Chains A and B, each alone.
Chain A
Amino acid sequence: MKTNEEKNVQLEDKRESVTFGSDRNKDFSKEPMCLSGRGVTRVFHTGKTTTVAVDHVDFDFHKGELISIVGESGSGKTTLSKMLLGLLEPTEGEIFFKDKPRDISSGAKKKEYWQGIQAIFQDPFSSYNVFHKIDSVLLDCINMRGGKNLPKEKKYEMMAEACSFVNLKFAELTNKYPFELSGGQMQRLMIARIFLLKPDILLADEPTSMIDACSRATILDMLLNLRNETGMTVIFITHDIGLAYYISDSVYIMEHGKFVESGKPDEVMLHPKAAYTKRLISDVPKIHEPWDLSTVEFH
């Protein structure tokens, strides 16, 4: 019987032959800072109970980096992502955008900030306004990037380009409503939206969790392509540590609103230090070995 350490060494050897979307050995710490936070905290008050959803977290996200934030449900991932997006104000701490303290105090400043950061949400079915056609979703993006006065043909061309980037045919989509598409198609359309917006940072909040396994690979592939093409920073929020391992440049493990561990995926996954990380890793089913359920905690 091999020990876990030995298994991991074996894995590390195999890993060399796998192709990844990112240059795993690239040192992103030399890249300019895109988004960072110091002591970011969010507290919710409901009646007499106080919940600390995010508890004094520090992070540094660099340009072009693909960061995964991994944690189970209720660990504060979504609250953190909302604070990053500026939809929620932190109770304490400060967020820096491009090395400057982020200022979203007014509507105009918020609008400016959102030129730089965009999101893809978990549930493609609830991400669209069901009363709007697909054209208007994409046209909105062009208008937001200052293309309001472009000729119609140019707008059409841009929309078609964005759709072909995600393997959709724009001609088939015009005059359709989002709910007429499949979940995978909707999420691809979301990526097309990001393609048109070209933000500095993309926050993907579990974009594949509501999608079947086959479409999931396609979506991930498109996200990586998008990152490679535009050089945007991608913050990938997921509960699937296996997924995070394969695609990220750096991983943050979140438990009870705190980052318990962070670093390069190889360090974190293959030599986990925190007990929580070890548990998360053991919770991932493995195809070629019996699944060790002894470490799974039942809550």
Chain B
Amino acid sequence: MKHTLKNVFHSPRFLVGFIIFMTILLTVLIYPYFVQRDPLQGLGKGFLSPGTYVSVYDTNNAGTYRVELPEANDNRLEASVPVKDRQTMLDYLTAMGADVSGLDTSNENFHALLEAWNANYDEADAKKNKYDGFATQAKRNELRRLNNRLTSDVTAAMSVTKGEGEAATVASVATSDYVKVSEVANSISLPLGTDNFGRDTLTELVKATGISLLVGLIAGSIATLLGLLVGLLAGYVGGIVDDILMFIANIFTVIPGFVLLILIYSALGAESRGITTCAVIIGITSWVWTARSVRSQVISLRNRDHVNLSKLSGHSLFRIVTTDILPYIMSYVVMAFILQVSSGILAEAQLSMLGLGPNPNELPTLGLMMNWAKLFGAYTSSNAWWAYFPVILVIALISFSLNLMNTGLDQVFNPTLRD
């Protein structure tokens, strides 16, 4: 056993396949510990391309971190208040008798002008007193609008505060500074963007890979077990049992498996199609070739001397099959199992792609993701490659790694294929 394992891991093909598969499997297992987001949670609207996103609302209102840029307001005003308005401000201040020495309309002195304005302008006063040049109602209204423009933006200025309810400013960030994305409240990194529902594609993909692997595993186990049972019985018992079992197998071969799968699927209805149902149906429609190949292997083993000797020792049928035949075909069965898992994953992807997959409201699968991408035009109108290309890549990688492992095993167990 140890020796066989050593041989298996010395096969470069098996090793490469194993590493790829294990990387996928470990990612599926470990990823949820780092990103605890619900894979079906919508984060935005439609396809968002890959990148890092910041929630505007949360940045301003969540209590964690707020960024205040003290000069930002002035700077913005500096850019948005034209010279004509500045002259109006200056004229009003002069008219009401404030100290205007050193004030002008230049950019350098704009802050000083603004400070003087804030200190002296009084709305009630502006309404009441008809200063020289501001006697008309229209002029006074213009003043009010100007003041509104100058002061309203101040409330939107940000301040870096820590903790909810704590108003104290703990740090100031200069306008020219860069702010670390992780320090901004509710920012999300979306390396693969979002799908049409605004769900994080990467999180969804990892979850879907896990589910698809599970479907493949269940379908593969059922197909292999069923095939093994039928093959062993038909091959070892022979006679009428063989005839009946092979008749059933022939019927399954003649009916196109995929059509049968589609019929069973559509008959069930979307609501009752869970992950397990999906896997079971794939499993019970794909056992035939395993049964056939196991049967032929068993027939060649049935007349071996050690089996005859075991019979002569009075062992029961069950014991002969499990101890004298099964261990001899075990390597073959393992290989068949790997291929069945691979084809189970592909079958699920095909079915879901056609819209016959498991209930789409519960869990994502690789096939469902492809189906959504197709339905919402990811590869036509939206050109959202991130919504389908990674899915294709993962399906291809799983299939590739499993087949590579299988070829590697074949090389180890079948000496005629060794280089």
List 10 A-B pairs, minimum CB-CB distance, nearest first: A121-B305, A111-B314, A127-B305, A131-B327, A126-B305, A129-B306, A114-B312, A129-B324, A140-B313, A114-B314
Is the beta-carbon distance between A118 and B323 smaller than 8 angstroms? Answer: no
Question: Is there a chain B Cβ closer than 8 Å to A107's Cβ?
Answer: yes
A122 within 8 A of B: yes
Residue-wise interface mask of A (102-118) relative to B, using a CB-CB cutoff of 8 A (1 in contact, 0 not): 00000100110011011
B350 interface hit (Cβ, 8 Å): no
List 14 contacting pairs A-B, 8 Å CB cutoff, sorted by A: A87-B308, A107-B316, A115-B314, A121-B305, A121-B308, A121-B309, A126-B304, A127-B305, A129-B306, A129-B323, A129-B327, A132-B323, A144-B313, A144-B314
* Chain B positions within 8 Å of A123 at CB level: 305
Q: Is the interface of B mostly helix, strand, loop or mixed?
A: helix
List chain A residues, Cβ under 8 A from B314: 110-111, 114-115, 144
Q: Please name the residue on chain A nearest to B307 by beta carbon.
A: A129
- B309 to A127, Cβ gap below 8 A? yes
Q: Is B187 an interface residue (CB 8 A)?
A: no
For chain A, give the interface size range: 20 to 34
Cα(A129)–Cα(B313), bound, Å: 13
Does A224 count as interface, using CB distance less than 8 angstroms?
Answer: no
A128 within 8 A of B: yes
A residues with CB within 8 A of B: 85, 87, 107, 110-111, 114-115, 117-119, 121-123, 126-129, 131-132, 140-141, 144
Which of A122, A126, A127, A129 has the most C-beta atoms of chain B within 10 angstroms of its own C-beta? A129
B186 within 8 A of A: no
- A295 vs B323: C-alpha distance when bound (angstroms): 49
Beta-carbon contact of B305 and A118 below 8 Å = no
CA A222 – CA B312 in complex, angstroms?
21
Q: Does B311 interact with chain A (Cβ within 8 Å)? A: yes
Cα A129 to Cα B316 in complex, Å, equals: 16
Q: B316, A119: Cβ atoms under 8 Å? A: no
Name which of B313, B316, B323 has the most chain A CB atoms within 10 A of its CB: B313
Residues of chain A lying within 8 A (CB to CB) of residue B313 = 114, 140-141, 144
B323 touches A122 (CB 8 A): no
B310 lies within 8 A of chain A by Cβ: yes
Give every chain B residue within 8 A of A131 (Cβ-Cβ). Answer: 323, 327
Interface residues of B in 271-317 (CB under 8 A from A): 304-306, 308-314, 316
B-to-A contact residues, CB < 8 Å: 304-306, 308-314, 316, 323-324, 327
Q: How far is the CA of A119 from the CA of B313 in the complex (A)?
A: 10
Query: Can you name 20 extra interface pairs (CB under 8 A) apart from A127-B305, A141-B313?
Result: A85-B312, A87-B312, A114-B311, A114-B314, A115-B314, A117-B312, A119-B308, A119-B312, A121-B308, A121-B309, A122-B305, A123-B305, A126-B304, A127-B309, A128-B306, A129-B327, A131-B327, A140-B313, A144-B313, A144-B314
Nearest B residue to A199 by beta-carbon distance?
B312
Query: How many Å lie between the Cα of A87 and that of B305 in the bound state?
Result: 11
**How distant is A49 from chain B, measured CB to nearest CB, in Å?**
19
Q: With the chains together, A128 CA to B310 CA distance in Å?
A: 9
What are the residues of chain A within 8 A of B304 when measuring CB–CB?
A: 126
Most A CB within 10 A of own CB, among B305, B324, B327: B305
Residues in A whose Cβ lies below 8 Å from that of B305: 121-123, 126-127
- List the A side residues contacting B308 at CB < 8 Å: 85, 87, 119, 121
CA separation between A123 and B303, bound complex, in Å? Answer: 13
When distances are taken between beta carbons in the complex, the residues of chain A under 8 Å from B327 are: 129, 131
CA of A141 to CA of B314, assembled, Å = 10
Chain A residue at smallest Cβ distance from B315: A140
Query: Which interface residue of A117, A122, A131 has the most chain B CB atoms within 10 A?
Result: A131
When distances are taken between beta carbons in the complex, the residues of chain B under 8 Å from A132 are 323
Once bound together, how far apart are the Cα atoms of A279 and B250, in whole Å?
50
By beta carbon, the residue of chain B nearest A110 is B314
Q: Are B311 and A87 in contact (CB under 8 A)?
A: yes
Chain A residues within an 8 Å CB radius of B310: 129
With A126-B306, A129-B306 as known contacts, state yes or no: A118 contacts B324, CB within 8 Å: no
Q: Give the Cβ gap from B415 to chain A, nearest Cβ, in Å.
A: 15
User: A121: which B residues are within 8 A, CB to CB?
Assistant: 305, 308-309
Q: How far is the CA of A184 from the CA of B60 in the complex (A)?
A: 89
Residues of B contacting A140 with CB < 8 Å? 313
Contact partners of B309 in chain A: CB under 8 A? 119, 121, 127-128
CB distance from B70 to the nearest CB of A (A): 80
A233 and B61 CA atoms in complex are apart in Å by 100
Task: Say whether A118 contacts B306, CB under 8 Å.
Answer: no
* Contact partners of A115 in chain B: CB under 8 A: 314
A117's closest neighbor in chain B, by CB? B312
CB neighbours of B323 from chain A (8 A): 129, 131-132
Closest B residue by C-beta to A129: B306
Rounded to whole Å, the gap between the CB of A188 and the closest CB of chain B is 15
CB proximity of A127 to chain B, nearest CB, Å = 4
> Shortest distance in angstroms between A108's beta carbon and chain B's nearest beta carbon?
9
- The distance in angstroms between the C-alpha atoms of A131 and B323, with both chains bound, is 8
Tell me the complex Cα distance, A132–B323, Å.
Answer: 9
Minimal beta-carbon separation of B300 from chain A (angstroms): 12
With A and B bound together, what is the CA distance between A105 and B162 in angstroms? 89
